[in-house]
Structure 1
């Protein structure tokens, strides 16, 4: 047999031997533990009800939809719009209000609570007014209507000095007692006027039958009928700045500016409050069927005044052109405990629509979003505020990253698609100085990318 044929036979034999050996090993291999799935129990029918021995199917709970986690407090955002000219102040207030509202509606944006950052002054002490009220009650119980009337009159005057800190019901009771004293002293016209003032403070007021006689009750009922027959008046309420909360007789009626707030005739306790400002309180006289105007200039609290001064400097042209974090921006963030500072510099030329330039600083990383412009006049029927809010939101949530200066100067390697494929499994697009990093397998744009100078958190 030739050497070649011999080698062929040996190879064939070795092949068959290996096959047999492999087959034997497969046949001797012990089977592993069988995995069995519990058979689902049959669904009950009207004829058959499930018994206690019927195993319930092991149902896997559906994963609950996870709401976006709110941002932590240390990632808080503050929005400030500053007018660069006095005629732009209304537009600045409107921009700040609307942008704050739009960002506040986003579940992943944590706005700084300015009401907590700038709490109102401590309530005024009403001890003197309360003491006069109690003294009047004592004199009335001792059948001394003259002394009681003097005490109740002084108590009403003391209460009216602080309408923002007083409950209208207490003032109303004071006038009921005063009217009763005047009636007992024979001053029926004075009693009627006091009863009308009691109803103006609290239209649901009613004398206590255990404290006042039937003659006082009748006099009060006559005044009540006259009060209810009066045509209501209206209040026109505005404030500078606008957007302040308004209460009338302790009831919330909305935010300024307000028109056509219907109220009963008489002096109405009105309180206007805005975070960071001293609450404004007044008792405007409202005539039947007529409108009364109330347009106060709200006074800033000292802490907010300091913040506003810093914001004015931070929105100057010099600050907006700065290539580094302006000290005033850091001051703003420190005063309110914010990481992100949204600044809008608003200006208006004569009758032209107001315009604003926006910048957003991440104080922690010193990154900035810039080059965002806003016009108060909508373009092509679409509000530019919506687009501005989207861009700001993208920066706040890390989906949009910008360097402190434009245009965005990146190393050449960063612009290579293969670089981003290796780093984040996606690609990068540079548009208008803005870097968009995408990761298709994660379902959308992400960012910033850590480890890159000027881009990482």
Structure 2
């Protein structure tokens, strides 16, 4: 009886335990609740700032008394005479201490120099090959780099070219080409006579070969460069050093290729690498190409110096255009003709007051001092400074009626003065600079 009861209790305990196990297995752990992130607020559109407008070109600075001279040929056969007259008249006016000539170099800035990035990259590639003990590949890179440097004499960097050629010579020496190495060292010295191979980069064999080349270079007789240009008066630099203006008959230089740059305001700089032989003279006579801006200004000057414009009673629009483009107040125009000899008629406009000096004659080859360039410059100078400008012979060419003060009082409506045989109209007292102000521009009176 006791045993049966014990077995019943045991069976009941086992049954309860199994139910508890079954209950635990059936109860799953609740999955974590997925929390959706709160939607981010839509940002308000931010107004993008307007891109800044492209910078406007700087306004041309008008000098207080800036003056520019343009000599215009009336026919193609007068072009050489026009160039000569413009140069001589500009020099004569520049000699006046109170005349301010317009700087055409600022009015017509030259194009930026060419980039040397390609040459620099080839030079660095050559150094890499040289450091990797591949003198043949390095020589090819240095040769290309030297050619790239010499391609742009206007951006000439003598030290860069010289270093490139020293490396090239060192590569050629390693390749057994002693003659080629000497030639490269001579070229390096021609580019920079103070060149020396870096002792930390090159061994004693390169140093010795370079010294031999240097002795030969120093023993050579110098060569000469004869340099001219059309137009003349251009600035010349050789190896980056200023040597004067064209024409230049004898510029002494070291033998070898010499970088020459010829520049003239308003023209494309001319650059060349002429070969100069020891004891010989090499010539350069380039025709300088005008910049588009100068071509435009010359066209305006040609229209302003036409017969119709010279005879006009008012200032032609082309005069104002020309003055604005170069930043001048006074515009000197010389209409040039070539007959038996060169001759020119000058007019000068003051674009601020619209006053004009007219009828000035210039014959550069005449023996008459009153027709010389200096005399013409004196008359222009008198107009600029407000002094009487008629030459000694001018009153005798005027009709007697014109010399009478009452004639001017009636015609001009103002006062006239005759002093020392020189007649000129007084300025409008209102100061408005009208067409009948000083040097009023009455047709045919020449002042």
Is 1:354 paired with 2:336? no
**2:178 aligned partner:** 188
Is 1:386 paired with 2:374? yes
Q: Which has the higher contact order (CA 8 A, sep 6+)?
A: 2
Query: In the alignment, is the contact (CA less than 8 A) between 2:225 and 2:251 conserved in 1?
Result: yes
Query: In the alignment, is the contact (CA less than 8 A) between 1:428 and 1:436 conserved in 2?
Result: no
Q: 1:243 to 1:134 in 2, by over 3 A?
A: same
When the two chains are superposed, the root-mean-square deviation of aligned CA atoms in Å is: 3.0
Query: In the alignment, is the contact (CA less than 8 A) between 1:248 and 1:271 conserved in 2?
Result: yes
Counterpart CA distance in 1 for 2:404 and 2:96 is: 31
Q: 1:259 to 1:448 in 2, by over 3 A?
A: farther
SS of the aligned residue for 2:69 comes to: strand
Is 1:75 paired with 2:65? yes
TM-superposition CA deviations, 1:93-119 (whole Å, max 9, x none): 222223222322333222211111110
Is 1:251 paired with 2:232? no
Counterpart CA distance in 1 for 2:437 and 2:215 is: 72
Q: 1:307 to 1:381 in 2, by over 3 A?
A: closer
Is 1:455 paired with 2:444? no
**1:35 aligned partner:** none
Counterpart CA distance in 2 for 1:428 and 1:411 is: 7
TM-score (norm 1): 0.73
Q: 1:320 aligns with which of 310, 318, 323?
A: 310
Q: 2:352 aligns with which of 364, 373, 387?
A: 364
**Shift in Å at residue 194 of structure 1?**
0.8
Counterpart CA distance in 1 for 2:79 and 2:408 is: 43
TM-score (norm 2): 0.75
Counterpart CA distance in 2 for 1:380 and 1:345 is: 20
Q: 1:230 to 1:144 in 2, by over 3 A?
A: same
Query: In the alignment, is the contact (CA less than 8 A) between 1:130 and 1:155 conserved in 2?
Result: yes
Query: In the alignment, is the contact (CA less than 8 A) between 1:237 and 1:256 conserved in 2?
Result: yes
Counterpart CA distance in 2 for 1:218 and 1:381 is: 67
Counterpart CA distance in 1 for 2:199 and 2:301 is: 59
Note the residue ranges of structure 1 that are not aligned, 5 or more in a row.
1-70, 438-446
Counterpart CA distance in 1 for 2:354 and 2:403 is: 16
Note the residue ranges of structure 2 that are not aligned, 5 or more in a row.
1-60, 391-397, 440-447
Moved more, 161-170 or 243-252: 161-170
Q: 1:286 aligns with which of 272, 276, 281?
A: 276
Moved more, 82-91 or 185-194: 82-91
Q: 1:123 aligns with which of 106, 113, 124?
A: 113
Moved more, 72-81 or 363-372: 72-81
> Considering only CA atoms, is the larger Rg found in Structure 1 or Structure 2?
2
